[in-house]
Amino acid sequence: MRSQIVDITPTHDEPAQGCPDEGLGEVEKPDLTRPRQDAFGDEEHAEVKYKVLTWWQGGLLMVAETISLGILSLPAAIASLGLVPGLIILVGLGLLACYTGYVIGQFKWRYPHISSMADAGEILMGRFGRELFGTAQLLFLVFIMASHILTFTVALNTITGHATCSIVFGVVGMIISIFLSLPRKLAQVSWLSLISFISIFSAVMIAMVALGIQNTGSVLEPTVETNLVTGFTAAANIAFSYVSHNTFFTFMAELKDPRDFPKALALLQTIDMTLYIIAGVVIYRYAGADVTSPALGSAGPLISRIAYGVALPTIVIAGVINSHVAAKSIYIRIFAGTDRMHKRDLVAIGSWVGLTVCLWIVAWIIAEAIPVFSSLLTLITALFGSWFTFGFTGIFWLHMNKGLWFSSPKKIALTLLNTFAICVGIVLCGLGLYTSGKSIHDNPGSSSFSCANNA
C-alpha cells in the first residue's frame, strides 16, 4: 500500500483552487509548503495496518454512530411541530447534512493528513485552532459516551424492573463498553456496527408494529400551535439526529481509498433519512399527539422492555464507536511521527488500553455525577454538534474556495448554500443553548450517584 502524501496543488475535480493560505490573518499557520504524510504514513511493511476499511464498513460505522435510540424521539418532535413543518425540517436538514458531510470529504481530499477535527482546526487557525477544535471534539465525544452509559442504565432498569442499584448497571455498562473498545482498528469495530444497525432497526419495527396493533390511529395534524421553546426544542431534536460529522475525518483516515467516502456517506444518509421519516410518521400516526419521547413509553410496559432489550446492542456499540474516535485522536497525537502505533508491543497496546479505560471512567463519572444529564447533553450538543455538522463545514468550503466565492454562477450558489449552513449552525447553537439552559433551570434534578430507578 503506497503512502498517502499531501498534494497541495489543486485538481480540476476539487472545489478548492488558488492558494489555501491566503487571508488566514495573523494567526499561526501550519507549514503547507512541504508535503505532509497522513496520520498513519506508509503502512506497506507495518505490523498493524489501519487503512484497510472498505466504503461499506465505513458507512455502517457512520450509521451505527448516528442512529441510536434518539430516533424514537422524532415522533414527539413531529407531533410538536405538525406533520408538514416536521417533515420539511426532517428532510431539509437531512439533505443539508448530506451536503455538509460531502464538504468534509472535500476538505480531507484537499488536506490528506487530516484525521480529526483538531487537524482541521490547525488548517484554519494554526496551533490555536488545533487545540480549540481538538478539545471541543474530545469533550463532545466523552459526553456522548456518558449519555450511552446513562441510557444503558435506563434500559436495564426498564427491562429488570429496577432489580438492583442503578450505579451497578452503570458499572456493568462501562465494563462492557471498555471490552468492546479494545480493538485499535476501525475495521475490527465495523462488524459491531452491523449488529448495531440490526438492533436499532428491530427495536423501531417492534415499536411500530406494537403501536399499530394497540391503536386504531389518529388524525395527522398538518400544523399545530406551539411556542418558541417547544417548537425549537422539537426542531433541534430533529437537527441533532444528524449530528455525527465530528467523527467523519477519523473514518476517512482509515479507508483504503478516501475517495470512496461519498459511497459511505450516501449509505448513511439513505438509511438514516428513510428510517427517520418512516419511524417518525408511522409512530406519530398510531400513538397520536400525546406520543411520549422516547416513543417506547407509548407502547406499554411489556413492549418497552422487549424493545429496550433488542436495542441494548446499539446503545452500547454507538458509544463504543465514539470512544474509539476519542481514543484514536489522543493516540495518534501521542505517537505522531513514530511507528509505535503500528506495533503490537506492550507500550503500543498498553497505551491504547489505558486511554480507553480512562475515557470510559471519565464518561461514567459524568453520567453518575450530573443530575440533569439529558438536558446537559442537549446543551453540549447545541454548543458543539451544531458547529461540527453545519457551521464549521461551511467555513471549510469558504476556506478552500477563498477568492473564488463569486467567480461563477455555480460558485455564487455554493457560497450562498455554505453561508446558509453556517447560519443554521449559529441558530442551532444560540437557540439550543437558550432552550437547553431553560430546561436545566426548570428541572428540579435528582441526586448524583443515586441508586434510584431512572427509567
* pLDDT tens-digit readout, 177-212: 999 999 999 999 998 999 999 999 999 999 899 988
pLDDT at residue number 37 = 67
Q: How many whole angstroms separate alpha carbon 5 and alpha carbon 2?
A: 9
DSSP 381: I
Q: How many whole angstroms separate alpha carbon 302 and alpha carbon 305?
A: 5
Residue count of the chain: 455
Q: Can you give the CATH number for the domain in which 95 is found?
A: 1.10.4160.10
| 3-class state of residue 53 by DSSP | strand
The tens digit of pLDDT for each residue in 106-125 reads: 999 999 999 999 999 999 99
pLDDT at residue number 138 = 95
Set of cell numbers at residue 399: 476556506
* Residue 50 belongs to a domain: no
| 3-class state of residue 367 by DSSP | helix
pLDDT at residue number 444 = 62
For the question of whether the overall pTM of this predicted structure is more than 0.85, the answer is: yes
In 10 A of CB 308, how many CB atoms? Answer: 24
377-381 long-range contacts, CB within 8 A, separation 24+? 377/143, 377/144, 377/146, 377/147, 378/236, 378/240, 378/432, 378/435, 378/436, 378/439, 379/432, 379/433, 379/436, 379/437, 379/440, 380/139, 380/140, 380/143, 381/140, 381/240, 381/243, 381/432
Domain of residue 351: give its range.
55-368
* Residue 137 belongs to a domain: yes
* Residue 278 belongs to a domain: yes
Q: Are 214 and 300 in contact (CB under 8 A)?
A: yes
* Residue 376 belongs to a domain: no
Set of cell numbers at residue 132: 480549540
| Helix (H) / strand (E) containing 35 | none
DSSP 385: I
* Residue 88 belongs to a domain: yes
Q: Are 183 and 353 in contact (CB under 8 A)?
A: no
The total number of structural domains that make up the chain: 1
* Residue 99 belongs to a domain: yes
* Residue 426 belongs to a domain: no
List beta partners, residue 5.
Answer: 37
* Residue 2 belongs to a domain: no
| Contacts with 282 (C-beta within 8 Å, 6 or more apart), sequence order | 208, 211, 212
Pick out the chain residues at pLDDT < 50: 1-35
pLDDT at residue number 72 = 83
Q: How many whole angstroms separate alpha carbon 134 and alpha carbon 205?
A: 38
